[in-house]
Amino acid sequence: MAPLFLRLNQIASLVCLRGWRGLPSLVPIILILCGCEGLLFFPQQQLLRSPADVGLSYQEASIALDGGDTVHGWWLPAAGNAQATVLFAHGNAENISTHLASVYWLPARGVNVLLIDYRGYGKSIGSPSVVNAQLDVVAGLAWLAGQASERDTPWFVLGQSLGASVAGVAVARSGNKYPNMAGLVLDAGFSRYGDIAQEIAAGNWLTWSFQCFARWGMPDGQDLIDELAAIAPLPLLIIHGRQDPVVPYAHAAALYKAAQQPRRLLSYDGGHIETFNQAASAVQNREQLMDFISAAGEDWRLNRQLKRDSL
Q: Which of 148-152, 234-238, 250-254 has the lowest mean pLDDT?
A: 148-152
The three-point CA angle 61-62-67 to 5° equals 160
The answer for residues whose C-beta is within 8 angstroms of residue 303's C-beta and 6 or more apart is: none
Instruction: Please give the mean pLDDT across all residues of the chain.
Output: 87
Q: Which of 7-11, 46-50, 84-88, 101-105 has the lowest mean pLDDT?
A: 7-11
Q: Please indicate, yes or no, whether the overall pTM of this predicted structure exceeds 0.85.
A: yes
pLDDT at 18 over 60: no
Tell me the C-alpha to C-alpha distance, in Å, between residue 53 and each of 48, 60, 104, 239.
10, 15, 11, 28
Domains and CATH numbers, the chain: 46-191+221-309 (3.40.50.1820)
Average confidence (pLDDT) over 282-293: 98
pLDDT at 194 over 70: yes
Compute the distance between CA of residue 152 and CA of residue 82 in angstroms, rounded to an integer.
Answer: 10
Most distant CA atoms of the chain, gap in Å: 74
Average confidence (pLDDT) over 278-295: 96
Q: What are the residue ranges of helices labelled H in 83-129? A: 96-99
Q: Which of 152-166, 191-205, 252-266 has the lowest mean pLDDT?
A: 191-205
Look at phi and psi of residue 117 and say left if phi exceeds 0, alpha if psi is from -120 to 50, else beta: beta
Compute the distance between CA of residue 272 and CA of residue 242 in angstroms, rounded to an integer.
Answer: 9
Measured in whole angstroms, the distance separating CA 193 from the mean position of its chain's CA atoms is 13
Strands (E) across the chain are located at 42-43, 59-64, 70-76, 84-89, 93-94, 111-116, 155-160, 181-187, 236-241, 263-268
Q: At what angle do helices 193-202 and 4-18 cross, to 10 degrees?
A: 50
- The answer to whether residues 231 and 259 touch, using CB atoms and an 8 Å cutoff, is yes
